[in-house]
C-alpha cells in the first residue's frame, strides 16, 4: 500500500533533467568563497534502471547566501539516486538546503539516498537543512540525513600534539570532510577547491 495522497509535482513543472531507462546522470555542484548562488534542480527518473548521482559542496567565509533546492522524482521502478552535499559556512554566511525525494506508487524497488552535512566555523554563520522523503511505494530502500556541527576539537588536539600547526590542522580536517564530494572532481578542480579552504580561516 502507498502512503498518503500522491501528488505529481511535475504536473505543472518541467524537470531540468529527465533520465530514461538504463541511463545515468552524474552532476557535481561547487560553490566557492565569495559566490552567492540559488541552485534549483529538478530531476525526473522515468525509465527502469535509471541512475542519478548528485553531489555538491559549498565554501562560505563571508556574507554569502547559498540556497539549494533539489527535487528528485522517482517515477519508474528499479531506479537509484544518490545525493551528497557537504558544506562549510563561516563569517555571516547563510546556507539553506531543501532536498525532496518523491517515490511514485509504481516506482517499486527504488533506491534513493540523500545526505547533507555541514561544518559551521563561526557563531555568525547559519545553516538550515531540510531533507524530505515522500514515499508512495512499498518495496523501496530510501534514507535521508543531515548533520551540522563544528570542527572536531579532539582531532585538532591530536594533530597539534604531533606538531601540526593549528591552522594547518583545521585545513586538513576540512579537506577530509569535503573529500567524499571532491573525489568526483578533476585533479585540477580538487586542488583549486582545497586551496580555497585556506581563505576560510
Task: Identify the pLDDT of residue 1.
Answer: 41
- pLDDT, tens digit only, all 201 positions of the chain: 445 677 676 666 678 999 999 999 999 999 999 999 999 999 999 999 999 999 999 999 999 999 999 999 999 999 999 999 999 999 999 999 999 999 999 999 999 999 999 999 999 999 999 999 999 999 999 999 999 999 999 999 999 999 999 999 999 999 999 999 999 999 999 999 999 999 998
Beta partners for residue 53, in sequence order: 26, 82
Give pLDDT, residue 26.
97
Orientation angle between helical segments 166-182 and 153-161, nearest 10 degrees: 120
* pTM for this entry: 0.91
What residues contact 198, with CB distance under 8 A and at least 6 apart? 171
Distance of alpha carbon 195 from alpha carbon 4, whole angstroms: 47
Amino acid at each position: 500500500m502507498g502512503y498518503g495522497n500522491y501528488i505529481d509535482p511535475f504536473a505543472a513543472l518541467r524537470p531540468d533533467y529527465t533520465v530514461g531507462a538504463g541511463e545515468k546522470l552524474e552532476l557535481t555542484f561547487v560553490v566557492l568563497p565569495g559566490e552567492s548562488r540559488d541552485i534549483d534542480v529538478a530531476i525526473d527518473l522515468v525509465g527502469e534502471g535509471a541512475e542519478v548521482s548528485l553531489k555538491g559542496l559549498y565554501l562560505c567565509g563571508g556574507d554569502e547566501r547559498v540556497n539549494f533546492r533539489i527535487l528528485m522524482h522517482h517515477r519508474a521502478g528499479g531506479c537509484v539516486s544518490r545525493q551528497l552535499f557537504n558544506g562549510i559556512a563561516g563569517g555571516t554566511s547563510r546556507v539553506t538546503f531543501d532536498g525532496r525525494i518523491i517515490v511514485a506508487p509504481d516506482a517499486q524497488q527504488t533506491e534513493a539516498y540523500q545526505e547533507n552535512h555541514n561544518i559551521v566555523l563561526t557563531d555568525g554563520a547559519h545553516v538550515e537543512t531540510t531533507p524530505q522523503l515522500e514515499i508512495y511505494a512499498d518495496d523501496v530502500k530510501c534514507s535521508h540525513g543531515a548533520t551540522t556541527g563544528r570542527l572536531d576539537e579532539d582531532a585538532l588536539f591530536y594533530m597539534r600534539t604531533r606538531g601540526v600547526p593549528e591552522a594547518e590542522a583545521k585545513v586538513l580536517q576540512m579537506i577530509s570532510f569535503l573529500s567524499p564530494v571532491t573525489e568526483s572532481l578533476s585533479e585540477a578542480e580538487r586542488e583549486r577547491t582545497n586551496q580555497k579552504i585556506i581563505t576560510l580561516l
